[in-house]
Structure 1
Amino acid sequence: MPSVLSTGTSALLAFQRALATTSHNVANINTPGYSRQKVDFATADPQSLGYGTMGNGTRITDIRRVADQLAISRLLDGSGELARLKQLSSMADRVDALFSDTATNVAGVWSNFFDAVSGLSSNASASTNRQSMLDSGGTLASRFSQLNSNLNNLSQEVNNGLLAGATEVNRLAAEIAQLNGVIGGNVDTAAPDLLDRRDQLIANLVGYTGGTAVIQDGGLLNVYTAGGHPLVVGTTASKVTTVVDAFQPERLQMALETQGLKITLDPKALGGQIGGLLEFRSTVLDPAQAELGKLAIGLASSFNEVHRQGVDLYGQMGADFFDIGSPRVTTHAKNTGTGSVSASFGDLAKLDGHNIVLSFDGGNWVANRADTGANVPLTGTGTADDPLLLNGVALVTGGTPDAGDRFLLQPTAGVAGGIKVAISDTSRIAAAAPVKAGATLSNTGTGKLGNVSVTDAANPALRNAANILFTDASTYTIDGAGPFTYTPGQTISANGWSVVLDGAPKAGDSFSITPTPVGSSDNSNALAMNQVENAKVFNAGTITLNGALGGLTTQVGAAARAAEYSLSAQQVITDQAQARRDSISGVNLDEEAADMLRLQQAYQAASQLISTADTMFQTILGAVGR
């Protein structure tokens, strides 16, 4: 009878705990990272009776979680990459929206500006056309500045994301290290819920930094970033912080604090959300801002060059229509010398938006791409008369640099924020040509002059009156200088102007070059300004301003689409890893319901055993009592 009671009791307790475990599984079906738990039964130690042994019922040997570390590791790898691509795609889409939306992009106001220039070229004396061109130019400049400001705001968002990410990484790493200490060196005896909690925290941490977790002897988990930097080693958690960029103090970088030192982390050594932010800044934001500045510089410089070749209604040579800034040069925080570098724009056809690190090796200056480290050809000595020349930028050095001193050249980044219209008086718009050509009425030949073109607007004699006199049908003089040989269709040049003369002049025929008078309605220079958007100014004269505008929009859109496609592919991979993990560790309600029914029936049967033992005991007591 005692054996029946003890056997029934052991079974009752075992099934009760198994039912509690099943209930625990059902209760946590929606808990992130929860792994299904399973009760392992074994027979209790038998009792020796001399003539044999008798069983003593059942016992629970383990309550274990159902998990596959390989499946968990694959999910960790996938989730870190997915977090990186989600962050990258989300931020890239925002830049794409700025450049593609008609309400915020450059294309619409760009088109309006050149439409206004075209209107001026059709009626150069109309004050309304002049005002329209001035207003449209101001709107275009404001759009450049606005877009640059929006990109700066996104850069600040990256900074804020790094600050928040560092705080969360430190919190997660500290909690993981604490759990490593609680779990101890024997994972086999650890509470399943603590193991799940640790795995979930690691997944969250990897979601911020990328990387993976490595099992240490005894079951402790060490966590490393995508670049192999330790975040958690046993019960010790590293501390992540932010530091100011050595070249750009407005920009933050990630660093690892170790032994009192802050080691700046290579952006490529981080994945997850933080890696996505850093990758967005370097591969999408910076190139977009650099190309926007390059486009602004190309427009302003090209338009100014043509505008300076005309005269305004006051009879004065045109000044700059747009104001534009200069390339940015910043000093490395650890420079020890007194060297300085100033920059100005040179040949637009060679202008490149890539950032350059300019280093002094003790005797010479060396230039390298900031992103790839590739060497960039450099000419000149760095003086005002012989500046250093690279990628369409002229550099003048000063002071005394020490060996190892470095400077960061940003040729075009941020320049778009400083563009503005330089004039406010509509009469200052130089729509007319500075000089005009005419034929003497008494000419007897068939010589015919074309339009006068300006070849050197800075020539002091440009607006001096000049006379072209033919001494015979094949020779001519200019203000007595010459004679020069003439052939039909020839270009005649002097004093910074040129003109094409065709036909057959006769001896004594003359042609005059005279300055354009005050208040002229001539539209020659307005026609030239209208063609600026089609000027081939970039990439060694192969890309027009219009082409560069379309290329900017395409570049940003392509970066956003590439991130989106990568995200879609990674989502499939991560979903597969999640499904694999869930097929092993996930709670299945049908399976749990079947287990609950089976255990309930076993529990009831065990209860019946105890009831039977009680009846037997009462029977014995009754027999003895008589």
Structure 2
Amino acid sequence: MGDILASGTSALLAFQRALATVSHNVANASTPGYSRQRVDLAARPGAGTAQTYVGSGVQVQDLQRLADNLVFARQIDSSGELGRLQQLSSLSDRVDALMSDGATSLSQPWSEFASAIDGVASDPTSRTARSQLLGAAARLVDRFHALDGRLGQLDEDVDQKLAAGVTDVNRLSGEIANLNRDIIAAGANAAPDLQDARDQRIDQLAALVGGSTVAQDDGSVNVFTAGGQALVLGIRAQQLSATPDPYHPERLQLALASPAGAVPLGAGSVAGQLGGLMEFRGNALDPARAGLGRLATAVATQYNATQQAGVDYNGNAGTRMFSLDPPRVAAHASNTGSATLAASVSGIGTLQGADLVLRFDGTAWSATRSDGSSVAMGGSGTAASPFVANGVSIVVSGSAAAGDRFDVSPTTGAAGSLKLALSDPMTIAAAAPLQVAAANTNTGSARAASTQVTNAAAFASFSGATIDFLDSNTYTINGAGPYAYSAGTPIGSGGWSLSLTGTPAAGDSFTLSRTPPRSADNANVRAMAALDQAGVLDGGATSVTAGISQLTAQVGGDARHAQLSLQAQQTIHDQIGAERESVSGVNLDEEAANMLRYQQAYQAAAQVMTTANTVFQSLLAAVRG
């Protein structure tokens, strides 16, 4: 009699638990991160001998949380990569839109500037044409400013997103640590819903910073960044922070708290959205801004040199057309010496946009890129012999201490500092500085090619010159000399220079006089008109026009690559999600079948109890009778 009651009671309790679990599954069918649960039943040990053995019913052996740890590991890895690419693609698209849209790109104002120069070349005495050139130059400067400002705003947006992301990371890390504590207290198998909540937060954390997990024997999980730094160790969460960059305190970098102090985290140590932000800044935003500044530097350098080589409408030596701030130099926050560095562009043909880091080891200076790769550097760092690297000259003043570091940004921000230096259209130096007359008696093939002002102060006192060739290799200037002549080498003295083509002969003579005011000469502005296609960057291989196209193409290519990578990763992430659902997701049809099966079993167990009660009542009645 007791065996029947015990078996029936155990069955009622077991199937009640099974029905409750099925109901729990159905109720959470749409709950994000929920893993299906299953009750495993087993026979309770019976009693008796082999001939008289009697079972004692059923018991709940285990409550299974149906989850695949390998699939989950792939899921959080995919979440980290997806988060990284989402940020990288979204922000890269914004840079691409700036550089390629006709309303914001350099192409239109650059084309207008070149056309305006052609207008002055066609009518060098026209005030209207000259005013149009200054207007086009001003619009070009404004576009450089606007682009640099928008890129600078993107940099600030990155900082804001980093700060907000750090807050979310610390919140999630704290919640994971608290859930670890609760799971340890409850026992791992007794807390499937807590494990779901923890996994969901781990996945959210991975989307922010990437990372991996390591399960512990007590049921807790340790969480690490992509670079292996601990974010959660058992019931203790490490604090992530956004700290000022040691070179540029207006920018933020990530750091992780540790007993030894804050440990900076580079882009390689962090994946997820925060890693994507850092990668965007280092691989897309900074190069785009430096490339823009490199173009601005090339424009200022080229056009200033040509403008200063000619004379303006009033006959005065040309002054620079544009002004530009020197390269930025920033000292590391930990520097202890008194040294300061001053940088200037020394060679536009070798100028590169990437930052340089100069380090002093106590004996010598060395230069590297921001990624640590070495950069060749000449000179000794003095005013007489400055350091020269990547087209930048650097002069060191004061005393550096061992370990001192400086960051040199050759072109970053240059576009924002570009200014138009001319305000009077008549100061445009359209004319060549000198008029050259060849003697009628010349017998050689030498012809005047071009003249330039090489020193405005010295040229101010120029009153004319006569060059007489003694032979094809020797000449005098106003009777002074003789001087050696080499074909292709300009002849110059007192702030001016003359270039010849062909070969002079003995007795040939050239007379030079100042170009008078209000001259219709357009030789210098014609030289200026050719600059848009003249090779100036990359050792003379790239013109500014080509440089604009290359920068636009580079930014667009990076954005497209990020977009395609995001699409591919989204497909992978969806596949992993489907795989997880096949293991952990709730199938309502299956749960309905289980509900019916357990309901029937519960009813049968109840009938066993009813039968046991009937037998018991019959037994009592028989005893009473």
Q: Would you say same fold, with TM above 0.5? A: yes
- For residues 470 and 362 of structure 2, the distance between their equivalents in structure 1, rounded to whole angstroms, comes to 64
Write out aligned runs for 1:204-215 (5 A). Answer: 204-215=204-215
**1:120 aligns to what SS in structure 2?**
helix
**1:540 aligns to what SS in structure 2?**
helix
* Residue-by-residue CA offset, 1:65-124 (whole Å, 9 max, x unaligned): 111111111212221122112222221121111111111111221111111111111111
Contact 1:185 1:218 in 2 (8 A): no
* Aligned-partner residue type, residue 245 of structure 2: D
Contact 2:433 2:453 in 1 (8 A): no
**1:548 equivalent in structure 2:** 547
Label 1:503 to 1:382 Cα distance change in 2 as closer, same or farther (>3 A): closer
**1:102 aligns to what SS in structure 2?**
coil
Write out aligned runs for 1:512-591 (5 A). Answer: 512-591=511-590
Deviation at 1:513, TM superposition (A): 2.4
**1:452 equivalent in structure 2:** 450
* Aligned-partner residue type, residue 588 of structure 1: N
- For residues 598 and 59 of structure 2, the distance between their equivalents in structure 1, rounded to whole angstroms, comes to 14
**2:59 equivalent in structure 1:** 59
**1:184 aligns to what SS in structure 2?**
helix
* Residue-by-residue CA offset, 1:453-504 (whole Å, 9 max, x unaligned): 32735582585323456899999865445789999x9988343332547799
Deviation at 1:511, TM superposition (A): 5.0
Write out aligned runs for 1:167-566 (5 A). Answer: 167-184=167-184, 188-259=188-259, 261-371=261-371, 373-438=372-437, 449-454=447-452, 456-458=454-456, 460-461=458-459, 463-467=462-466, 479-480=478-479, 493-495=491-493, 496-500=496-500, 511-566=510-565
- For residues 201 and 100 of structure 1, the distance between their equivalents in structure 2, rounded to whole angstroms, comes to 39
Deviation at 1:540, TM superposition (A): 1.7
Label 1:96 to 1:485 Cα distance change in 2 as closer, same or farther (>3 A): closer
Deviation at 1:572, TM superposition (A): 3.0
* Aligned-partner residue type, residue 159 of structure 1: D
* Residue-by-residue CA offset, 1:212-259 (whole Å, 9 max, x unaligned): 000112322111111111111111111111221111111111111123
Contact 2:310 2:453 in 1 (8 A): no
Contact 2:355 2:370 in 1 (8 A): yes
**1:154 equivalent in structure 2:** 154
- For residues 505 and 199 of structure 2, the distance between their equivalents in structure 1, rounded to whole angstroms, comes to 94
- For residues 171 and 473 of structure 1, the distance between their equivalents in structure 2, rounded to whole angstroms, comes to 83
Question: Root-mean-square deviation (CA), in Å?
Answer: 3.1
Deviation at 1:542, TM superposition (A): 1.7
- For residues 475 and 246 of structure 2, the distance between their equivalents in structure 1, rounded to whole angstroms, comes to 65
* Aligned-partner residue type, residue 30 of structure 1: S
Deviation at 1:308, TM superposition (A): 0.6
**2:64 aligns to what SS in structure 1?**
strand
**Normalized against structure 2, the TM-score is what?**
0.91
Residues 28-37 or 600-609, more deviating: 600-609
* Aligned-partner residue type, residue 217 of structure 1: D
Contact 1:99 1:106 in 2 (8 A): yes
Query: How many percent of aligned residue pairs carry the same amino acid?
Result: 45
Deviation at 1:605, TM superposition (A): 3.2
State yes or no: 1:104 paired with 2:74.
Answer: no
Label 1:539 to 1:51 Cα distance change in 2 as closer, same or farther (>3 A): closer
**2:406 aligns to what SS in structure 1?**
strand
Deviation at 1:301, TM superposition (A): 0.6
Residues 494-503 or 239-248, more deviating: 494-503
**1:126 equivalent in structure 2:** 126
**1:84 equivalent in structure 2:** 84
Equivalent residue pairs, number: 622
Label 1:503 to 1:228 Cα distance change in 2 as closer, same or farther (>3 A): closer
Deviation at 1:44, TM superposition (A): 3.4
* Aligned-partner residue type, residue 306 of structure 2: V
- For residues 251 and 488 of structure 2, the distance between their equivalents in structure 1, rounded to whole angstroms, comes to 58
Deviation at 1:3, TM superposition (A): 5.1
Label 1:560 to 1:468 Cα distance change in 2 as closer, same or farther (>3 A): same
Label 1:522 to 1:575 Cα distance change in 2 as closer, same or farther (>3 A): same
Label 1:606 to 1:83 Cα distance change in 2 as closer, same or farther (>3 A): same
**2:24 equivalent in structure 1:** 24
- For residues 15 and 325 of structure 2, the distance between their equivalents in structure 1, rounded to whole angstroms, comes to 80
Contact 1:436 1:452 in 2 (8 A): no
**1:514 aligns to what SS in structure 2?**
strand
* Aligned-partner residue type, residue 422 of structure 2: I
Contact 2:93 2:559 in 1 (8 A): yes
Deviation at 1:619, TM superposition (A): 6.3
- For residues 494 and 338 of structure 1, the distance between their equivalents in structure 2, rounded to whole angstroms, comes to 43
**1:136 equivalent in structure 2:** 136
* Aligned-partner residue type, residue 15 of structure 1: F
**1:359 aligns to what SS in structure 2?**
strand
**2:540 aligns to what SS in structure 1?**
coil
Deviation at 1:50, TM superposition (A): 11
Contact 1:437 1:451 in 2 (8 A): no
- For residues 503 and 166 of structure 1, the distance between their equivalents in structure 2, rounded to whole angstroms, comes to 72
Label 1:506 to 1:617 Cα distance change in 2 as closer, same or farther (>3 A): closer
* Residue-by-residue CA offset, 1:163-222 (whole Å, 9 max, x unaligned): 112111111111111111111178543311011111111111122221100011232211
Deviation at 1:320, TM superposition (A): 0.8
* Aligned-partner residue type, residue 592 of structure 1: E
- For residues 501 and 261 of structure 2, the distance between their equivalents in structure 1, rounded to whole angstroms, comes to 76
